[in-house]
Every structure is written in structure tokens, then in C-alpha cells.
Structure 1
Amino acid sequence: MNIFNNHKRLYITAGLLFALLTYLTAIMPAFQNQYSNMPLPGTKPLSGDARAGKLIYIAEGCVGCHSQQVRNVEMDKMFGSRPGMAADYANIGRTSIWQNTATVMGTERTGPDLTDVGNRQSSKDWNLMHLYQPRSVVAQSIMPSYKWMFEMKDNPSKDDVVVSMPAEFLEGKTGKLVAKKEALQLVAYIQSLKQTPLPEGTLPQEFLYKKEAPQVADSKTGTKSVDGKALYATNCAACHQANGEGLKGAFPPLKGSPIVTGDNLEFYVDIIMNGYDARADYGVMAAVGTNMNFTEYDVAAIINYERNSWGNKGKEVTPEEIKKIIDFIKLKAPADQ
């Protein structure tokens, strides 16, 4: 064949063949994938701070320990309300013309999956404390601390974000712990990670290998109800701690709390559903109940667990009582805005 005796013809033919194969195996499928998989309706673009935070997330190697993919197995249900799908990643583009994006889906879970962490743990104070010293909020955490993202100031300005860190984790440092721009940007990205709900009428893929939901017998009715202890451990213990004692200067104790054991049930339910920000000596509580779509059964189970744990003695409530309060709170909300 003359082509092998003519180096110009050989190189040109090889180059054209390489270009054709590149188009068929890489470029064309990429365009097809781009047009076939669009972001879900309601998907929110990242803010400027969240985009900057994503770059920090990648640079600090967070992708090496945290995944962002909810698999279709029951054990992953704690990380999201539904299994992940291609549309969840359709809005992830190149970092720049010269840089592709990192595989934020991750390859392993040394730490928990972060697909829906913006709903699951939406407290800005908690996330900042966790960045500065993970062991301050999760005693068993093996995550490294990111203290370089913070600084101590004797007189913070009104624009500074002061982190309410218990003194034992400041290692003898004096002054106020202030979050730098990098910490705020990284937290902005973490808080932006929320599963977009499917369009109305669209059924999600089912989780496989289902287990029976944790339930306990109701001593009064003999029926089964939601396990409040399990719900507390999943949604509340990160801030208020497993022993109910909270973290001094950051998150209030539930042990011996007059709100927990008192008679103002409407106020108690409102805090669980809509959060609380009325005490300067503690961090802001996020709207955990709303974010996690708690039902009256969930709220009643959590309240009954908190009212009868750590030495607390409080009156048990029923889901029927809680439903009336939740409905009342929803009606009252527009008037308060």
C-alpha cells in the first residue's frame, strides 16, 4: 500500500481518522448527553459565593471523602428523599475553558454523602463550627479541621461573622473567632446542596432492599408509632448532642429545658418546624421540620422522646394535637410575613 511509503499521506490519514473517532466517541455523545439530560425544573443556579465555595471544596480534597450521589438502595435513603438521576448533574459545567469540573459525585464515603446536606444540616453556625473543629459537634469525627479559614479578633466589626465556639476548642486563644471569606464561601456551597423535587406527578425510582421503618410500641394505645429516638439521632443530635446537653455558647441544652418540659406546645412545635433565632447567646436554629418534611407523627415522636429523656419529665403528646398546631402555624405564617 502506497500510504505506508508516503509519510505525508500517512500522517494526514491518521489525523483525519483520529479526528473522526474523537467526534464519534467523545464530542457527539457529549452533545447528545447535554441535550438529553436537562436540569430539573426548579433547579437553582449557584450563587457567586457558592461557586467560589465549590472551587474550595474541590481544592481541599473534599471530593475524596464525601460523595454526592444517592444510590437506589434503602441504606442511602438517609441522604436524600429519592435516588439520584442524570438530571441532578445536568447543570454541572466546566470550571473554565481550560478546566473540566471535578467529579463531585465522589468515589467513596469516608464522610457522609452531601447530596441533600443543605436540607439535612442547614445551620450556618453548625457548619462553621464543624469546619473549624469537627470534634466540637461530632465527637467521633475523623474529618480534619480547617482552622486556616478562621482568625481571632479582639474587636470584630459589625460585618464579621463571629463563630460561637466553646472555649475548650479554642486551645487557650482569646478574642472572638471570626470566619474568613473562604469559610463563608465553602459553607455557602455546602448549604446550596439540596435535592431538587421532581415535577408534580413524576414518581421517583424506588429504593431497593427496603427495611421496615423503625417503630416502637405505644404503651397507651398498643399501636405502633414512629421511633422518636431514631429521628432525634438523625436530625437533632448533631447540635443538641446525644446527651441533650447541647454545646455551651453554640446550641442550647434540651435537658432541663423549660421549652421542652413546659406547656407552650405551639411554641415548641413552631421551633421544630420553622427554626428559632431569638437568643443572642446561641446560634440560629434552622427550620429542621420544614426542611425534612416532618409529619405530625415525626414531630410528636421527637417531642415525646425529648420530654422523657435525660431526666426530663413532660406530658406526652399525640399526632392529632400536633397536626392541629402545624395547620395553625401554616395559616398564621402569611400574616406574620
Structure 2
Amino acid sequence: MDIYNNHKRLFVLALCFFIMLTMFVAIMPAYNGQQNNAPLPSSKPLTALAAEGKGVFIAEGCTACHTQQVRNIDMDKMWGVRPSIGADYARNTRTDLWRNTANLMGSERTGPDLTNIGLRQPSAEWHLLHLYNPRAVVAASVMPSYEWLFEVKEYNYPEDVVVNVPDDFRKGITGKIVATPRALALLAYLKSLRQAALPDGKPVPVFLYGKDAGSAGIPGRSGTAKPEFDGAALYANNCQSCHQANGEGLRGAFPPLKGSPVVLNASAEVQITIIMKGYNGRVSEGYGVMPPVGTNNNLKPEEITAIVNHERSNWGNNSKKVTLSEVQKIISSLKK
């Protein structure tokens, strides 16, 4: 065993073993994974502005609190329409030769998962206000404010993107709060984060630990009792970030539901249509575009019913409640 007495031979042997192990454990599996995954046909590459925004996302440390991976467990249904698959990341490329920041899947969920945030929340106004001061749209948010991504101007140019910040969060600022190019790049990146549709005929991955229909007061659990849907919880998960917990919205950003003629109308057709198809009719008043929350979040008719009735019976609203059959009929008419 002369090898133990010859440090050169021992070093060469250890180096060869290390290289062989690296090939079998790291390089070959990574290469095979790369060859067996192709971008989904409906996915799109990042634009130059979104790619710049990805750099801002990394530089500002957003990956420390946000993931981009919808796990195949039932609790992640609110973040995407399906669990993430390898093909979702196949279009990502290295930043450059020295930096591999292709996939920003993350590991911490201090903040919500961002895999599908561009579809869940496509409103540019919401994102910019959220970046300027997260507490302006989510009162209990622990996310830091990124005010340095904005500047204050006494007069704004026509091409400037002005953020409508409520008076309570302006900290005495009287000028126009304008998004900087870095903020707009980050906005473009966030809006680009959308789950691509799978090709026709391809089986959709299922969420594990799912809940079967029919439960004693718990949606989806097996049992004989009629399932119930918590309108307050559904409103909090899907609507509250814009319209607020008190239903009063944010002045100059998101309209109130408290006392809204749409909500107080005896017919819920317009209210349900807005939930399913979105609405941009109040942009001229300074309000943001309402995304099609019901469609984007894949809400069931039972969930839509619970949300609508919650909005119609809270904050002083006392409007006629809707039934499941009425909601199903209206949703069916929207698909024609």
C-alpha cells in the first residue's frame, strides 16, 4: 500500500474520485434533466425590461421571503392552478457566465408564493402601491417598504407613472410620487410571473392531500353533512388586499364595496360578472383595473356565492343574498 506513503499519488487518486463522483451525482443528472425538459409551448421568454426587473428582484433580496414553486399539496392551491413542474423553469437561463441565478424557487414563505402573481394580481397600480408601502394594501404585512424605488416630483412629466398613495401613507409628502425605472422594471418582472397552460391532452398534476366533497362544516372533507364555505375567509384571500377588510377600499386606488351600488343592487349579475371577467370602467377616476379574480383564482361557484353574500351582508350593506343556482346560471351565461 505504497499509495499511503506517496502524497502525490494519494492526491491524484482523491481528485479522480472527486471528479468521478461529481460527474455521476451532479453533472450527469443535471444534463439529463435539461434534456428531458422543454419550455411549455404557451410560456413566453422574459422581455428586456422584465429581465432587468429580475435583477432588481434579486438585488433587493425578495428571494429571502418569497418562493416561486407551487407545491403539490392542497394548501398551495391558492397560489396556482396546478403544482409546478420542471418545464415551468426550462426557459430560465443563467444571468451570465459567472452567476447562476436562473431559478428563484426560494425556500422561505414569509410572504406569499409568487409563481402566479402576474395572473393573481395583474394590476400595476396595486403592485406599485404595495412596493411603496405594503401596509397601504395589506394592513398586517411585515414586508419592508421600498420607498427608494420611487421619487417625489413637484410636477410630473406625461411619461411618468404616478402612484396614487393614500394620504395616511404619504408621510407629509405633498408632491407627486413617481415610480423610478427600477420600480417599473421590477413591476414588469412581477407581472411576467404566470403559470403557463399545459398542452392539450397532457395530464394536469394533482394536489396531494386533497379534500373530497361533503363535510361537516369543513369544505371538501368526506362525510354526509352539506359543505360550507366561509365567505369571510374567501374574501380575505381573494379580495381584501385591494378592497380592504372594512370594505372601504383605498381612496384613489381601489373603489369601496361598502355602499357600492353594484353590491346593493338586487340583481347580482353585474357583481358576479366583474368578479369573473374583471372591470376597467373606473380607470378615468384614478382607480386601478379590477382583474378577473374568479377566473384567475379558479374559484368554484360555491366560493363565488360565499364571497358575494359576504359583500352583500357586511359593512352596513344589506342587499339580497344570492343562491348557488343563481350564481351558476350567471357564470354559465358568461361562457357563451
Measured against the shorter chain, the TM-score band is: 0.7 to 0.9
Tell which deviates more after alignment, 45-54 or 290-299: 290-299
Tell me how far apart the structure 2 counterparts of residues 6 and 69 of structure 1 sit (CA, whole Å): 47
> What aligned pairs does 1:15-94 form with structure 2 within 5 A after superposition?
22-94=22-94
The reply on whether 1:250 has 2:253 as its aligned counterpart is yes
Instruction: Give the aligned partner of residue 235 of structure 1.
Output: 238
CA distance in 2, matches of 1:267, 1:76: 30
Partner of 2:100: 100
Aligned to 1:308: 313
**RMSD between superposed Cα atoms in Å:** 2.9
What is the distance in 2 between the residues matched to 1:260 and 1:38? 46
Q: Is the 8 A contact 1:214 1:227 kept in 2?
A: no
1:232–1:302 CA contact under 8 A, matched in 2: yes
Partner Cα separation in structure 1 for residue 61 and residue 76 of structure 2: 22
In the alignment, structure 1 segments of 5+ residues that lack a partner are: 217-221, 332-337
- Asked if 2 retains the 8 angstrom alpha-carbon contact of 1:164 and 1:283, the reply is no
The letter for the 2-side match of 1:205 is: V
Structure 2 unpaired stretches of 5+: none
Q: How does 1:49-198 map to 2 (within 5 A)?
A: 49-101=49-101, 104-198=104-198
Residue 74 of structure 2 contacts residue 210 of structure 2 at CA under 8 Å; is this kept in 1? Answer: yes
TM-score where L is the length of structure 1: 0.85
**2:296 equivalent among 286, 291, 295:** 291
Note the C-alpha offset of 1:17: 6.4
1:285-323, Cα deviation, whole Å (9 max, x unpaired): 122122123343333322221111111011122333333
The one-letter code of the counterpart of 1:40 is: L
Q: CA deviation at 1:35?
A: 0.5
Cα 1:13/1:73, change in 2 over 3 Å:
closer
- Spell out the pairing of 1:184-223 with structure 2 (5 A cutoff): 184-201=184-201, 202-208=203-209, 210=211, 214-215=218-219
Residue 290 and residue 210 in structure 1: after superposition, are their counterparts in 2 closer, same or farther (change >3 A)?
closer
Q: Secondary structure of 1:151's partner?
A: strand
What is the CA-CA distance between 1:86 and the residue it aligns to?
2.1
In the alignment, the residues of structure 1 paired with residue 48 and residue 264 of structure 2 have an alpha-carbon distance, to the nearest angstrom, of: 43
Distance in 1 between the 2:26 and 2:46 partners?
27
The answer for the alignment partner of 1:325 in structure 2 is 330
Q: Does 1:269 align with 2:272?
A: yes
Change (3 A) 1:6 1:63: closer
Q: CA separation of 1:12/1:264 partners in 2, compared to 1, >3 Å: closer, same or farther?
A: same
Post-superposition CA distance 1:212-266 (Å, at most 9, x none):
68559xxxxx965543222211110010011111111111111111111024543
Structure 2 distance, partners of 1:31, 1:176, is 51
TM-score (structure 2 length as normaliser): 0.86
1: distance between equivalents of 2:70 and 2:230? 23
The answer to whether the 8 Å contact 2:151/2:177 transfers is: yes
Q: Is contact 2:231-2:306 (8 Å) kept?
A: yes
The corresponding residue for 1:219 is: none
TM-fit CA distance, 1:19? 5.3
Amino acid paired to 2:207: E
Moved more, 263-272 or 146-155: 263-272
Deviates more, 1:46-55 or 1:260-269: 260-269
Superposed CA offset, 1:46-81 (max 9, x none): 222211111111111111111112222222222222
Q: Structure 1 pair 317/209, CA: closer, same or farther in 2 (3 Å)? A: closer
Count matched residues: 325
